[in-house]
Structure 1
């Protein structure tokens, strides 16, 4: 036991050292002192320490014997160790208070279990979260984020620590203070039967010794043994032994008995005296001199016949012949214990001396009705076996330990529950969302959608718990009628009482939703180019100063520029409805670009700047992004021509009058190169955008789409980035030097016939009477609001899933050209013959054979149903030089 205790102390000490070295703020902190104190209290569990501090008179005598190294003590009326033994007896009584205090101090080490409880709680949450994640599948209707699993904030840690301190101190103060409110702390109750019996026996025996002085001569000795007092002493001695008999069993106790020795934890097993004074000790044991052997004495006075049997209300049972014979034996044959420090008789064969039991497993009773001189001459010692009580104490102490652990853990976890639920958990959710925005500002746009989805899911769950609304219409109608009647009746009973006030929303909820909205607005306003501005300013948590003018950085990207045709005319006609017009087009552009991993950067009236960042991606992913940029423009063209909302403008009377056969059309320019990404502006207003000749090049390409009669124009820089399969789908149409470009480059287009697409008739459009609906979406049926929003979230999730599939290495982007029905429809009129003839014409044009090129281009110009814009543009250019290539022509 001592080895285990010492090992535990070493482990606890190592833990304190490790925490001191590895945990900031631990040294000389609250838990440092608690851990040190709880480790020190383990010393009290060492047997030799506990015997010294809380031991009884036998423990003290044993220690004195070991210290003195004495052998048998000198016999006589008074000896040298008697005074020390008396002091030990008085100290044993005083040690009871120390024992109680020691047990309470040991409770300090239970504070360590607070950490185990906290660890178990976190481990349970993690296990629950893992189980939930393993059972949930992507896109589930009921998918919700586990807000409870947020990383614990500094505020939460501080509050939890302070709450734990207060709970620990409260429990310890209660446990340490409760004994002082008990009367037994200041005074004892009535003496026990053992103490009272020992007092009576000793007083009777000592008075007889004083009266007869049987050690003086044989006459006095014989008179004493024949006296009535001796008979009463022997009778009381055996009554004392039977009353605390160690041999009584539960089975032997009759049903009519009121009580028995089993009612007490203390069972007498050893009787003796100290010091080993032969002069007085020979009269201690209950024997009758002159009556022969012990067997003869038992026949003359049979204690079993006197005190045994089942006639007594207090059933005592019988003693076997062995202990009776020992009690009748002479004093000289009694067992000497603790190096002769005391002598006596054991009633239990396997426990010859009291020191075979630990001090807490025995109870020592010495008479208190003695003077100091009488005590030093010789005093009785009765030792009781209380191991059954010790065993029960161990069980109760274990239960107490479990209860205190529960009390500490429950208190630490529940005292701050309201604060956690109302303040800390919302703050931790806010911190988690801010961390997401700080690490990836563009993710703020999805946080709002997810939070809104969770709100709708909770509302749907509450609705389903109340009952499905569309399973049984008749039952629902009856239920509503009954509820209405009940509500009317309650209103009549209240007779105009004030309505129940609507609870105000919690400030933390309002703040959390405000943070989500602000983050979403920041992401929407700054875009990908401003992500670094948002991230750097949010990472600077030590200062409230705003630093928006951060240095720009060079990036490689694909730049796309698109413009709405005839926008000035549309603005003059639509007036205040032009915002709805632009936003409908922007919705199509932004959704298609996002679907193919692009980012809208800037809206300039009718023009839109779009980017695909290449920096940080390997060549294979850059090639895929180049393919996606072209496909996103193709999809924008398809969606604009198929949109029923945008098709309304074809029938707008004022637009039709000003622009006959009007339809929404756009031009697109696509280029790749470097740019400086950063903030543009001042402390009063900034825009996050890109500065570079390459950005301007994309805009100029869009501007010349009208000259070439194409929807999309691209440079050879973007063509070189594309995969071979996608670049082969593009047609080279010219080799030019635009404006300030230093080197000439080839122009490419992707031929599309946008007039071939039909409008999607998902729902019949509202009739147009000179004005358009201000709503960008048809109004929802309020009863279908939940399902519509749930479908919106599902569509977003499916879009993200489709993006992930396209981003994988296994997906080939050129396969879109062969499976997308819109692309197939718009490409159907462009034949292989047309591409071959134009390619031959362009090669002659590039080689300077303009005469041959003129003849071939005049064929391709009207080879299709409509005029081919690039063919017409080349013919117009060659006509300026009278169909002859100028000198020094290099193509």
Structure 2
């Protein structure tokens, strides 16, 4: 036996009743996992309204100040938005130049492209400097290709690369460079990956709960889809004729024939006729023509004499081509003038060199063996540019739609179940006793119907988590939370001191009932447990353990000790009650409602008392017409106890500190509370047999009740018990009318439609008076006066008051008990009477 707050032992202590209450502790720590993948150096963390990446450098050391600053720039909304706009422009910028620009505006487009090229280089260098594991990664090579693909859009750089140092050479090489540019434009589509990557990152910001597996799979799927589509863009043209320009065979071969015939002896009129026919049948506008051995003025004169037929063939003397809109006057008089007004890529040049006669010395007169002609192909180039823009937009649409489609299938069948399972684990880690109220989605129902393994795993994990919550209870909440967040299983965690209200209830005549019910006794006890647990949970309490004929329940007030209400040596006053209500807020709890809220210690005490009153009344009604009626009418029970038998329970309530934790070994643990205050609730319940009452409440809990609740409590005695230095004043609550449906929780509805449970109100709720109907006020007055006189040592007056009370209520247990005690002393108070008596066996 120890002092007032030491452990209690003795023959009357029931070791089987050291039970741990289930109470949801408050966890303010964020959800996190302590067992991340070793390769996951970058983790998404909340910072402000968005997400930021935090990690280490490639060698594992923390990032430097400059690296952090570089990452801040790279991940800023302004810089990211700017680079994405630039990326979109680069997909279409050069085509816009070709379609809507002119040679005079080309330099402006080239300068813009050069600036954007520099920005891409800056982004690339910053990424190499600041991003962990960026070098030699997929996006490293992607950014290199995307940046280099900008060079053909910068004319003054591209001309240096292809060697077009003068206009004639540029025009001559335009065909070759055009083919290269078309290939590069296909490469340019790889920039779309950056846009898809940005879209994926934005989705990650919106879906914070996305698992690492989901993010990795989505990224890998996007990569593969993009690479496959771009690969097809490269390969398919090779099966459709390659990357060369479509060649007008008539224009080329016909001009070669004219060049050869020009050196042959034939009438001038015949050659002029051949030239005119060739000009009229070309499909592009002829801009310049010079035949070897023929003066330029002559060929120009012949071209001006050409006549065309109208499209309906009714007119045959048109001076312009009605199909192409070409006029002979459109021809330029010199190559330099032509190249000064046209881009080299907008012209198609045919240059034939060869002397097909011995009359000319090609070394002495080199120009006489060369024929050259230029065609305006600007409309074809613009059409190709427009098609290129449509192609880029179409590829973007296909890439985005494909990646979304593929990822969506994987997400619905695999990733979302994994993420829901991870959410269950994190929920257990952050709030081990939180209720799982997730609405089952259609895809979950379909997965279960089709027997998907993920659905089975998800369902199994939910069941396991529910069983863990039921099995460990509130006292094991930390065991669940800390082990779900750790890599190893360690159930033997250090204990934690809390202050709580403890309620203990015991089934009367349990041994005899067990012998009568045999195998049915488990269902019998579970029905009683349901009555006790449902009433407790409806009013913010938690069930702890069920041991044979007893149940222990608790209402957690706070971590640590609550001043004035934690120790046996405390003498709580009204000022103490007001002080703790102003400073202490109990852990969030929803009770029977849907929205969690914090309550004051006094509201928790009133709610705990209401819960036990509800349990008492529901038990009485269950005997009369509820789930217990079937047992009291059994023949074997009637034979054992008689026809008037009723299932009864005793209740005891107390408040104080306890150590919350696990007891056992690695083979078996029990989450429990260890404290003399837990045992005090047991002793109060046992004392209800002495006083012949249903519920006994300690004066410590009585002091925590609201003034309205205290009005209903009746003082029975002040006693000294073993192991507790401070005298114990015992109170009870008289119930004379077990009203069916008593203490059904009442709710308000918040702005979101959630039900918020209303506080109990002993002062104004008529239900508390209704359950005491038939209780004579004169009896209460006489009984209270008699107890006060008895405690004051005026036993003669106490005898009169209590005798009158027994006349009004002959079966009252507390009054009879005090009268019997005074009778043992011939109703004379001992000379050393101090208002406290020692009660053995309590």
Normalising by structure 1, we get a TM-score of 0.68
User: Alignment partner of 1:614: what SS?
Assistant: strand
Map 1:550-569; keep pairs closer than 5 Å: 550-569=493-512
More helix by proportion, 1 or 2? 1
- Unaligned runs of 5+ residues in structure 2 are 1-108, 357-361, 560-583, 587-598, 836-842
2:828 maps to 1:884: yes
- Whole-Å Cα distance in 2 between the matches of residues 370 and 674 of structure 1? 115
Give the 3 Å change call, closer, same or farther, for CA 633–36 of structure 1 in structure 2. Answer: same
2:316 maps to 1:318: no
- Whole-Å Cα distance in 1 between the matches of residues 193 and 741 of structure 2? 73
2:829 maps to 1:860: no
- Tell me the CA shift for residue 200 of structure 1: 3.6
Map 1:693-842; keep pairs closer than 5 Å: 693-753=676-736, 756=738, 811-815=758-762, 818-820=765-767, 823-842=768-787
Aligned residue in 1 for 2:149? 41
Map 1:115-154; keep pairs closer than 5 Å: 115-116=197-198, 118=200, 151-154=209-212
Deviations 1:74-111 (A, max 9, x none): xxxxxxxxxxx6x7676445435423322222122122
- Whole-Å Cα distance in 2 between the matches of residues 394 and 563 of structure 1? 88
Report if aligned partners of 1:528, 1:599 keep a CA contact under 8 Å in 2: yes
Deviations 1:447-498 (A, max 9, x none): 5xx57x7799969xx9xxxxxxxxxxxxxxxxxxxxxxxxxxxxxxxxxxxx
- Tell me the CA shift for residue 621 of structure 1: 1.9
Aligned residue in 2 for 1:61? 166
Report if aligned partners of 1:54, 1:99 keep a CA contact under 8 Å in 2: no
Map 1:442-521; keep pairs closer than 5 Å: 442-443=433-434, 446=436, 505-521=451-467
Deviations 1:209-262 (A, max 9, x none): xx8xxxxxxxxxxxxxxx942x44554555454445xxxxxxxxxxxxxxxx4x
Report if aligned partners of 1:671, 1:694 keep a CA contact under 8 Å in 2: yes
- Tell me the CA shift for residue 591 of structure 1: 0.7
User: Alignment partner of 1:441: what SS?
Assistant: coil
Report if aligned partners of 1:242, 1:316 keep a CA contact under 8 Å in 2: no
Report if aligned partners of 2:696, 2:730 keep a CA contact under 8 Å in 1: yes
2:339 maps to 1:354: yes
Determine which of 164, 175, 194 is the counterpart of 2:233.
175
Report if aligned partners of 2:685, 2:696 keep a CA contact under 8 Å in 1: yes
- Whole-Å Cα distance in 2 between the matches of residues 317 and 435 of structure 1? 84
Determine which of 392, 395, 405 is the counterpart of 1:404.
395
- Whole-Å Cα distance in 2 between the matches of residues 316 and 26 of structure 1? 70
Map 1:611-626; keep pairs closer than 5 Å: 611-615=554-558, 618=585, 621-626=600-605
Give the 3 Å change call, closer, same or farther, for CA 590–170 of structure 1 in structure 2. Answer: same
- Whole-Å Cα distance in 2 between the matches of residues 228 and 689 of structure 1? 120
Give the 3 Å change call, closer, same or farther, for CA 240–527 of structure 1 in structure 2. Answer: same
Deviations 1:804-860 (A, max 9, x none): 98966xx4411587243xx44431122332322222222222221121112111111
User: Alignment partner of 1:645: what SS?
Assistant: coil
Map 1:228-627; keep pairs closer than 5 Å: 228-229=267-268, 231-244=269-282, 261=283, 266-271=284-289, 283-286=295-298, 303-304=305-306, 306-309=307-310, 317-319=318-320, 324=328, 342-343=335-336, 353-367=338-352, 369=354, 379-415=370-406, 419-443=410-434, 446=436, 505-540=451-486, 543=487, 545-615=488-558, 618=585, 621-627=600-606
- Tell me the CA shift for residue 648 of structure 1: 2.2
User: Alignment partner of 2:697: what SS?
Assistant: strand
- Whole-Å Cα distance in 2 between the matches of residues 759 and 311 of structure 1? 99
- Whole-Å Cα distance in 1 between the matches of residues 140 and 763 of structure 2? 66
- Whole-Å Cα distance in 1 between the matches of residues 173 and 139 of structure 2? 35
- Tell me the CA shift for residue 878 of structure 1: 2.2
2:191 maps to 1:109: yes
Report if aligned partners of 1:233, 1:286 keep a CA contact under 8 Å in 2: no
- Whole-Å Cα distance in 2 between the matches of residues 242 and 582 of structure 1? 107
- Whole-Å Cα distance in 2 between the matches of residues 806 and 106 of structure 1? 57
- Tell me the CA shift for residue 184 of structure 1: 4.3
User: Alignment partner of 1:505: what SS?
Assistant: coil
- Tell me the CA shift for residue 633 of structure 1: 0.3
- Whole-Å Cα distance in 2 between the matches of residues 111 and 601 of structure 1? 56
Aligned residue in 2 for 1:646? 628
Report if aligned partners of 2:483, 2:489 keep a CA contact under 8 Å in 1: yes
- Tell me the CA shift for residue 566 of structure 1: 1.1
- Tell me the CA shift for residue 376 of structure 1: 5.3
- Whole-Å Cα distance in 1 between the matches of residues 330 and 451 of structure 2? 86
How many residues align structurally? 676
User: Alignment partner of 1:814: what SS?
Assistant: coil
Give the 3 Å change call, closer, same or farther, for CA 94–707 of structure 1 in structure 2. Answer: same
- Whole-Å Cα distance in 2 between the matches of residues 415 and 392 of structure 1? 34
User: Alignment partner of 1:683: what SS?
Assistant: coil
Report if aligned partners of 2:286, 2:326 keep a CA contact under 8 Å in 1: no
- Tell me the CA shift for residue 204 of structure 1: 4.4
Report if aligned partners of 1:599, 1:612 keep a CA contact under 8 Å in 2: yes
Report if aligned partners of 1:437, 1:443 keep a CA contact under 8 Å in 2: yes
Give the 3 Å change call, closer, same or farther, for CA 825–798 of structure 1 in structure 2. Answer: closer
Report if aligned partners of 1:641, 1:757 keep a CA contact under 8 Å in 2: no
Deviations 1:517-547 (A, max 9, x none): 111111111111111101111111xx3x321
Give the 3 Å change call, closer, same or farther, for CA 152–438 of structure 1 in structure 2. Answer: same
Report if aligned partners of 1:310, 1:317 keep a CA contact under 8 Å in 2: no
- Whole-Å Cα distance in 2 between the matches of residues 309 and 805 of structure 1? 81
User: Alignment partner of 1:548: what SS?
Assistant: coil
Report if aligned partners of 1:365, 1:381 keep a CA contact under 8 Å in 2: yes
User: Alignment partner of 1:612: what SS?
Assistant: strand
Report if aligned partners of 2:175, 2:345 keep a CA contact under 8 Å in 1: no
Give the 3 Å change call, closer, same or farther, for CA 237–524 of structure 1 in structure 2. Answer: same
- Whole-Å Cα distance in 1 between the matches of residues 775 and 784 of structure 2? 13
Normalising by structure 2, we get a TM-score of 0.72
- Whole-Å Cα distance in 2 between the matches of residues 241 and 582 of structure 1? 108
User: Alignment partner of 1:367: what SS?
Assistant: strand
- Whole-Å Cα distance in 2 between the matches of residues 89 and 386 of structure 1? 12
Determine which of 642, 653, 656 is the counterpart of 2:638.
656
Report if aligned partners of 2:204, 2:215 keep a CA contact under 8 Å in 1: no
Aligned residue in 1 for 2:57? none
- Whole-Å Cα distance in 2 between the matches of residues 326 and 409 of structure 1? 47
